[in-house]
Amino acid sequence: MRKKIVAGNWKMNLLPVEAVNLYEQMESSQVPIGCELIVFPPAIYVATLNERQGSIFIGVQNFHPEESGAFTGEISVSQVRACGAKYVLVGHSERRMIFGESNGFVKEKIDSALSHQLVPIVCCGESLAVREDNEHIDFVTNQLAETIGHLTALELSHCMIAYEPIWAIGTGRTASIAQAQEMHAAIRQWLKNHFGELAGEDISILYGGSCNAANASELFACPDVDGGLIGGASLDAASFLKIARSF
Ligand code: 13P
């Protein structure tokens, strides 16, 4: 079943007390929310937030696909799972560009997440140069082919996709409604072609890139946009909850 999701990627922000306060403010909302909420705090806060047993799901922004071993500084997939995370971000453009993660490594992380019952949110998205060359759809569908193309339809049903145009991340420049819908529809069509009509229809495809309380309702009204992956605007409880009420 296609779910409506609003997810907050806190990136490398917030000190411990701030992270707990933000999570508790979000949890204390009295107004019913018609979507599933997820937050991706820095990994060192996952266990603490999980102890609060809130209704907001917790995920990690990064992990290593191996279960254990000599990978100084990394956090293993089993550790992530044991600390209570349910979701993992994979293929975020910041991981790809700053930390050199390739489609091949993203694919390994997806396989590892699925085999540990974690839900991968698979990020994809093009640079401004690629869009200006009008290659954006081919670029993004190629990212998908190389990262999830090998999955079965059943495995795909345990994943979500996030389309995050790099030129819209942290820039205040959101994709237009037409640009977002065009890409989300193209992604869904590609999924239908590869995994079958039902699998493509059922998967949630989130939009990310300067999505905020002012533009979320327009974006979420697009037929192929099932929610958002929010960066900056997820660091404020009121704006995050307003986004969550924008369906
Ligand atoms: P912004 O919402 O700050 O543009 O970040 C988007 C993002 O990268 C979410 O993963």
- Of 111, 84, 89, which is closest to residue 99 (Cα–Cα)? 89
136 is an active site residue: no
Q: Which of 64, 116, 164, 184 is catalytic?
A: 164
Q: Which domain holds residue 191?
A: 4-244
CATH number of the domain that residue 125 is part of: 3.20.20.70
- In the block, which residue shows the tokens 């790809």? 96
Total domains, the chain: 1
82, exposed or middle or buried, with CB in 10 Å at 0-12, 13-18, 19+?
A: exposed
Is there a catalytic annotation at residue 158?
A: no
- Output the residue whose Cα is nearest ligand 1's atom 9: 231
129-160 pLDDT, tens digit each: 999 999 999 999 999 999 999 999 999 999 99
- Residue 69 Cα to ligand 1 middle (Å): 32
Q: Is the pTM of this model over 0.85?
A: yes
Q: Does residue 102 surpass a pLDDT of 80?
A: yes
Q: Model confidence over 4-56: pLDDT tens digits?
A: 999 999 999 999 999 999 999 999 877 678 899 999 999 999 999 999 888 99
Which of 5, 6, 9, 96 to mutate to test ligand 1, by most ligand atoms within 8 A of the CB atom?
9
